[in-house]
Amino acid sequence: MKLMQLSRTTAASGQSIFSRQVQTLALLAPALLLAACTSVPLPPWTPPVPRPAQSAPASVEQTVQTFPVAPPAVIAPAPVGQPAPYSAAVAARFPAPAVVYSTPGLQAQRTSFTTQAEIEAWLGDQALAASRAGVSAAVLPVGRSQRGETVQALVLTRATGTDPAALLATGRPTVLLIGQQHGDEPAGSEALLVMARELAQGLLLPVLGRINVVIVPRANPDGAASGQRATTGGLDMNRDHLLLSTPEAQGLARLMRDYQPTVVVDAHEYTAAGRFVEKFGAVQKYDALLQYATTANLPEFLTKAAEEWYRRPMLAALKAQGLSSEWYYTTSSNLADKKLSMGGTQPDTGRNVNGLKNAVSLLVETRGVGLGRLHIQRRVHTQVTALSSVLASTAQRASELGQLRPYIDKEISALACTGEALVESAPTPAQYELVMLDPASGADKTVTVDWDSALALRTIKTRPRPCGYWLSAESGTAAERLRLHGVQVMRVTEFGSVLGENYRETSRAAAERQDVRGTMTGNAPIIKVQVSLMRGLLDVPRGSYYVPLNQPLGNLVIAALEPDTQSSFFANRVLDGLQSAFRVMAEPVFKLEALN
């Protein structure tokens, strides 16, 4: 925003926009750096204080932490439709919770989860109920799925309106909860309907005095309708958050850009039996698998906040409900490969890309894929417990979070033109003792596994961090995708030249994108190149683009525009060729205007 104002002011005076901008930032930078070493008002870093279990609920946090309590009871639905994938002894390890949740899809005798039409009606009802309670509420279209279904968001706030400016004006942190990016993972979606009701008219209503909440219960309605992981076109939308080639991912990016949530939670489910039984002769044990953003160039403070302010209280909340949890892990579909991997380190998942947008970004996975309706109340209870913990943590840390985000935004902006940036990093191979379940007896079974840890990233490739990137005039698609992320892109208004680094191709191969599950299906082959850099004075024609790195999303820009990674715009043909972009290595003095 500051960048924008500065640009406009300078444009009016007819001077070179960017030199002024860089000068101003250059003046600010030492102060910022000094402050980072000494007296910057870093968020005070006190670990959460454990609360006595039986203290009377006297504050918002305590009220929230007493949740969940049973909504109106209905008869717990019997598993319908598909046989249990494991023995009764295993199933007995997962008793139904004392709470009975009631959504359209959780009704007794239902064979299908909540339909898209029922979600729409439910969100409308919650918005109405919230309005009666004096809460500003709206159901917004986030976008359209490939089959034309409307993806919807419910906004709940004590702001005077439900538009992004009204929420931002409250100064309160906004939490974005996303469910069912993968269509065959229904517990997240059902749990988010529960959360919507409890926020609008139930036990979570008081938390809206401290935070704003935006809920997208079902991000992939087409996948949900057909019970499949991917979107209609076969693409996994949760690997599309940098490229934004699907309308589903584009819709979420627009929502992120406009509402600027401080915290994002992505609710998923994981495979409990299936390939784990084939590989390890064991069923998976944990009610919840958890992970925060783990990708190159994330600010350290963001990771620390995710760990100390969110994951640890979440572990305690789950434990208090008798629910078990572990770090998130998965395994490839190749049965010969016995390695387990934590969630990936590529900048393509919602978890990682939302981290690169400087949000505290959390993944919550319940054991559910392949289980049909088995243990559905327990799965929903696990999600509701974890998500309620996130809301409570945000309410409790509202003022610190209010300091954290502007600090991180400034810190990243100040890095432009300095030091090294990671181009690529990878998880660290390790061994891990993981508890699984014996498929017959249901007893715990400890397995020592090869384990790719995403908590310790290995550096694969670094480069000096440029001041920004130039894009050719023909790179309109790339410019638009960046802008959809909230990146400020400038247009060159007069021919100029600048010290830059071109990419020279040293090798090229067709390849497939890989994730921790193996080769990703539904994607076109990528162009995998190795490059060297050639430095020189490079022409900057009128009508081409400049993407400065002295902005909060600088790290996301690096992930998109360094070409020699599998997630990049170049590798995935969002950019036409290697010559469509170069690294700008000095303060540009050519004339620019901000795109509106």
* Stretch in the footprint of Zn ion (CB under 5 A) among 262-270, 412-420, 427-435, 496-504: 262-270
- Complex with Zn ion: residue 268 or 517, whichever CB lies closer: 268
Cis before residue 164, ω within 30 degrees of 0? no
Task: Give min distance, CB of 216 to Zn ion, in A.
Answer: 14
Binding mask 301-340 for Zn ion (x = CB under 5 A): ----------------------------------------
Give Cα separations from 553 to 232, 345, 487, 548, 567 (angstroms).
30, 18, 6, 10, 17
Q: Label the pairing between strands 263-271 and 174-179.
A: parallel
Count helices and strands in the chain by DSSP H and E runs:
17, 21
- Complex with Zn ion: residue 185 or 515, whichever CB lies closer: 185
Taking a C-beta distance cutoff of 8 angstroms, is the pair 560, 568 a contact? Answer: yes
Reduce the DSSP state of residue 322 to 3 states and report it. coil
Distance of CA 462 to the CA centre of its chain: 24
- Complex with Zn ion: residue 229 or 410, whichever CB lies closer: 229
Please report where in the chains the tokens 């500065």 appear, as a residue.
6
**Interhelix angle 17-37/2-13, nearest 10 degrees:** 150
* Stretch in the footprint of Zn ion (CB under 5 A) among 24-32, 263-271, 480-488, 561-569: 263-271
Contacts of 596 (CB under 8 A, 6+ apart): none
Task: Give min distance, CB of 270 to Zn ion, in A.
Answer: 7
- Complex with Zn ion: residue 350 or 554, whichever CB lies closer: 350
- Complex with Zn ion: residue 291 or 566, whichever CB lies closer: 291
Task: Give min distance, CB of 268 to Zn ion, in A.
Answer: 3
Spatial CA neighbour of 472 closest among 382, 569, 540, 421: 540
Q: How many residues bind Zn ion (CB under 5 A)?
A: 3
Binding mask 179-218 for Zn ion (x = CB under 5 A): ---x--x---------------------------------
Task: Give min distance, CB of 234 to Zn ion, in A.
Answer: 16
**163 to 182, contacts with Zn ion by CB under 5 A?**
182
Spatial CA neighbour of 164 closest among 125, 196, 212, 219: 212
Task: Give min distance, CB of 363 to Zn ion, in A.
Answer: 9
* Stretch in the footprint of Zn ion (CB under 5 A) among 17-25, 151-159, 260-268, 466-474: 260-268
Taking a C-beta distance cutoff of 8 angstroms, is the pair 520, 239 a contact? Answer: yes
Q: Which two tokens stand for residue 583?
A: 């690294």
The phi and psi torsions of 138 (rounded to 5 degrees) equal -155, 145
- Complex with Zn ion: residue 185 or 587, whichever CB lies closer: 185
Task: Give min distance, CB of 232 to Zn ion, in A.
Answer: 17
Please report where in the chains the tokens 């995708």 appear, as a residue.
481
DSSP H helices, 46-170, are 60-65, 88-91, 116-132, 164-169
Contacts of 82 (CB under 8 A, 6+ apart): 372, 373, 374
- Complex with Zn ion: residue 372 or 439, whichever CB lies closer: 372
Task: Give min distance, CB of 180 to Zn ion, in A.
Answer: 8
Q: Which amino acid is at 30?
A: P
- Complex with Zn ion: residue 184 or 411, whichever CB lies closer: 184
3-state SS of 552-565 is CCHHHHHHHHCCCC
* Stretch in the footprint of Zn ion (CB under 5 A) among 96-104, 261-269, 495-503, 537-545: 261-269
Q: Which two tokens stand for residue 488?
A: 């400020």
Q: What's the sign of the alpha-carbon dihedral 411, 412, 418, 424?
A: positive
* Stretch in the footprint of Zn ion (CB under 5 A) among 212-220, 268-276, 297-305, 458-466: 268-276
Task: Give min distance, CB of 312 to Zn ion, in A.
Answer: 24
Element (H, E) at 449: strand 444-464
Task: Give min distance, CB of 219 to Zn ion, in A.
Answer: 10
Taking a C-beta distance cutoff of 8 angstroms, is the pair 103, 121 a contact? Answer: no
CB atoms within 10 A of CB 3: 18
- Complex with Zn ion: residue 219 or 478, whichever CB lies closer: 219
* Stretch in the footprint of Zn ion (CB under 5 A) among 41-49, 206-214, 265-273, 567-575: 265-273
d(CA 169, CA 398): 14
- Complex with Zn ion: residue 101 or 328, whichever CB lies closer: 328
d(CA 349, CA 139): 25
Task: Give min distance, CB of 377 to Zn ion, in A.
Answer: 20
Task: Give min distance, CB of 184 to Zn ion, in A.
Answer: 8
Binding mask 219-258 for Zn ion (x = CB under 5 A): ----------------------------------------
Task: Give min distance, CB of 182 to Zn ion, in A.
Answer: 4
- Complex with Zn ion: residue 237 or 558, whichever CB lies closer: 237
**118 to 157, contacts with Zn ion by CB under 5 A?**
none
Based on its alpha-carbon atoms, the radius of gyration of the chain, rounded to whole angstroms, reads: 24
- Complex with Zn ion: residue 172 or 268, whichever CB lies closer: 268
Task: Give min distance, CB of 245 to Zn ion, in A.
Answer: 18
- Complex with Zn ion: residue 136 or 271, whichever CB lies closer: 271
Q: Is 268 in the site for Zn ion (CB under 5 A)?
A: yes
The phi and psi torsions of 327 (rounded to 5 degrees) equal -60, 150
Task: Give min distance, CB of 274 to Zn ion, in A.
Answer: 14
- Complex with Zn ion: residue 182 or 373, whichever CB lies closer: 182
DSSP notation for 204-239: TGGGGGT-EEEEES-S-HHHHHHT-SS-TTS--GGG
CA angle 16, 538, 595 (to 5 degrees): 45
Q: Is 410 in the site for Zn ion (CB under 5 A)?
A: no
Which stretches of the chain bind Zn ion, using CB under 5 A? 182, 185, 268
